[in-house]
Amino acid sequence: MVDTHFDLLVIGFGKGGKTLAATMGRLGKRVAMVEQSARMYGGTCINIGCVPTKALVHHAEHPGAGTPGERHRKAVADTRALTSTLRGKNFAMLDTIDTVVVITGRAEFLDPKTVRVTAGDDVLELAADTIVVNTGAVPVLPPVPGLDASAHVLTSTDLIDLDHLPKRLAVLGGGYVGVEFASMYAQFGSAVTVLDAGPRILPREDEDVAAAVTGILRDAGVEFVPGVRVTAVHDIDNGVELTYEADGRAHTLAADELLVATGRVPATEGLRLDRAGVRTTPSGAIEVDEFLQTSQPHVYAVGDVNGGPQFTYISLDDSRIVADQLTGGGRRSTLDRKFVPYTVFTSPALSRAGLTEREAVERGLPVKVSRKAVADIAGMPRAKIVGETRGLMKFVVDSVTDEVLGAALLSVDSQELINVVALAMRHGVTASELRDAIYTHPSSTEAFNEVLAAPPARRA
């Protein structure tokens, strides 16, 4: 028997889901928001993702008084307080809308329009005209013997809530998450070792950019072990030991904690999507079209669960697409997205948009590259003012049309600068126009005047 009926049912309190719930609630629609844990009100970003990790990065970059352990404990405590405050604000954002109800419990489909929510012994059945799945993604552990049994194996979710500072931190995975945490914990004072299966970290980036990041992290004390195949993990006194193969030989590494940063998969387990007739892709993501509709037209999937880029701002844009389907002209789609930027919060941060040099060359485009080390950019005094002159700026430009094909900015303020570049790319602003624009002084943006005027390295 169905207990209640809603216009919209959202499963998962993430950015896209909560934004859509609030939008529809303010329009007077009856909305149910189902979240499996009260500790996840507001979604991954504010609780275990962007906000706490970037708060910890800030604390690591601006150490206060005390020992490394004391500074780390204070950083964790301050971050917990911040996420708790934001969690409450996110709950209130929906709870204060008369037509929206927040229900805490685990959701599973019973049929295409009915969902059962279970919280302990309490069971509730909900029906809705439109259902949005916004359950995000979860870290995945590779099939290494002993890995899932170790008391010292952590995901990023575990590590940000760890009360003590590991003296020795091993990081399995040289992708964006692994590199970000390696940078953070090296600054906190941990001895960090990054092990990766590939020949170098950040395989999606150009070699010169990845090499610059590697150099900065090495200077901070991070060690890198490439070409690794981990064969076993087991706990030892007060820590963990990894056995791995590299260069044709067996090795061991002992650490206090092991961060596994080998990727995330869409969180669909337990949803019983089969009962709803909702198809998934071979990778486990919910299959959607460009309007984020699933194989059931009244069911949508937004955010990480649909297999798109795992960024909170993509989830936000997903909510706009679904809102346009429900209340607008239904024309907005994922095909509208161009030059979506992203940032890896190393110190300094690496931000990118568009094509890498390698990708542009592989496409056969006429490429010229403008690149300069931040320390050599005379017209960027802000870097010297704030004492952060590490990194480089690199632009990939079409040598015929002067179109900006991509940019990689490893520098102070890059997380802000890349938004300017991405906006310019979307609106056809040329490299010459970016080069000759008037920027405030002293700012990081004015570096574009000099970097884009540098003699380019041309590639056919």
Residues 6+ apart with CB under 8 A from 312: 14, 15, 43, 44, 45, 49, 50
With CA atoms as reference, report the closest residue to 292 among 315, 268, 310. 315
HEC states along 203-260? Answer: CCCCHHHHHHHHHHHHHCCCEEECCCEEEEEEEECCEEEEEEEECCEEEEEEECEEEE
H or E segment at 144?
none
Cα separation, 34 vs 41, in Å, equals: 10
Q: How many CB atoms lie within 10 A of CB 335?
A: 8
Strand partners, 225: 195
Cα separation, 77 vs 81, in Å, equals: 6
With CA atoms as reference, report the closest residue to 144 among 245, 55, 227. 245
Whether the CB-CB separation of 291 and 321 falls below 8 Å is answered with yes
Alpha helices in 337-398 (DSSP H): 357-362, 381-385
CA 312 from chain center: how many Å? Answer: 7
Per the rule left: phi > 0, alpha: psi between -120 and 50, beta: everything else, 3 is alpha
| Per-residue CA distances from 146 to 141, 149, 152, 364 (Å) | 11, 5, 11, 46
With CA atoms as reference, report the closest residue to 32 among 156, 159, 125. 125
DSSP class of residue 71 equals H
With CA atoms as reference, report the closest residue to 356 among 199, 205, 200, 202. 205
Whether the CB-CB separation of 96 and 89 falls below 8 Å is answered with no
Whether the CB-CB separation of 269 and 164 falls below 8 Å is answered with no
Amino acid letter for position 336: D
Backbone angles phi, psi at 280, to 5 degrees: -120, 160
CA-based R_g, the chain, Å? 24
Asked if 72 is an active-site residue, the reply is no
Cα separation, 37 vs 19, in Å, equals: 18
Cα separation, 74 vs 66, in Å, equals: 10
Q: How many CB atoms lie within 10 A of CB 122?
A: 10
CA 37 from chain center: how many Å? Answer: 21
Active-site positions read 441
